[in-house]
Amino acid sequence: MLIGALLVAFLLSIFLTPFVGKLAVKLGATDKPNERKVHIKIMPRMGGLAIFLSFFITFLIFTLILNKFWEQLPLLVGALVIILIGMADDIYELRAAPKFLGQVLAALIIVLWGGLEVKFINLPFFTDTLHFGIFSIPITILWIVAIINAINLIDGLDGLAGGVSTIALVTIATMALIKHDLFVAMAALTVIGSTLGFLKFNFHPAKIFMGDTGALFLGYIIAVLSLLGYKNVTMVSLIVPIIILGVPISDTFFAIIRRIVNKQPISAADKSHLHHCLLNLGFTHKQTVLLIYALAACFGLAAIIFSFATMWGALILVAGLLLIIEIFVEKIGLVNSDYQPLLKMLNFKNKP
């Protein structure tokens, strides 16, 4: 059944993507080159509609087979809200406020109607449990909205967001299978199949972009699936989804730091994201995408190892990851060329 869901979604996506591309052109959902864009010609966007339709049809079939359709209806309704917001943005280029409100609405649907809520965690080295109480709903909504925007921010090169999302979903599916959670595994594999089919047309040189329709949907579904099975768990287990999404979360985090350091509005757009920095270092378009894929795969592997580690092993792994991320960020100039506190400190210590 799991392989069947993957294959059905994959074939549907390959079939639907060309039609969605033609629809995007007719609706005016095209991406024009500018100083922030890497591409040099007008491209159809809104390709994420093909990913969503492939997922929706396949998910509908298999949830009906498993008799879980009504149970999972909030997830589908939330996804539909996200898709409508993404399509509207791809066609009309919405302002930030309505996009944000749409994301919050989708999150509210899955949280309030679907019951997805992180209510408490058990703290390591302590016997007490930290209950979130009235903050449990805001914290869960914040997670969903944050991941939606993290995936959206990394969507800057052909196949980048789709590939990074696929790697994260493969990790989520693997973790679900380890925990014998067949539903989450099926849902993740369905999105994987849908995204891989789309990547046939989206990998460099792309024939179509996923647009906000795809980036927002992938962010939403990844945020939801990454939380399923990690509700009411230990602090260590709650870190697993964060590690899985290490690449987009790190890029978003340091984008915020960069704008604070450079005294720019946090919402300001720039051309200094992870993929921009790697391109500036001389990597080709395809090399940059493959390098970020490799980074995402390393985070995914780390998340799996982390889930089996002892308490001290997990803490050492997290500390090592944070150290590696910081050195990497300083080396490529992700904040700016002068931001090198750790490298400068190490260099100072190495001086005679």
In this structure, what token pair is assigned to residue 229?
């099975």
Instruction: Using DSSP, state whether 31 is helix, strand or coil.
Output: strand
Angle at 152 between CA 146 and CA 155, to 5 degrees: 145
Query: Any residues with CB less than 8 A from the CB of 226 and at least 6 apart, and which?
Result: 147, 168, 172, 241, 244, 245
Largest CA distance in the chain: 70
Alpha carbon distances (Å) from 345 to 4, 26, 181, 330: 53, 56, 46, 12
**Any known ligand binding at 89?**
no
Query: Any residues with CB less than 8 A from the CB of 268 and at least 6 apart, and which?
Result: 259
Q: Sign (positive/negative) of CA torsion 90, 166, 229, 315?
A: negative
Task: Find, among 228, 230, 238, 241, the residue nearest to 114 by Cα.
Answer: 228
Contact 154, 251 (CB under 8 A): yes
Query: Any residues with CB less than 8 A from the CB of 345 and at least 6 apart, and which?
Result: none
Residue 158, beta-bridge partner list: none
C-beta atoms surrounding 343 within 10 Å: 13
Give, to the nearest 10 degrees, the angle between helix 160-178 and helix 211-227.
20
Alpha carbon distances (Å) from 181 to 124, 212, 261: 25, 30, 43
**Any known ligand binding at 152?**
yes
Angle at 171 between CA 168 and CA 176, to 5 degrees: 125
d(CA 302, CA 36): 33
Binding residues for Mg(2+), as ranges, are 152, 212
* Residues in binding site: 152, 212
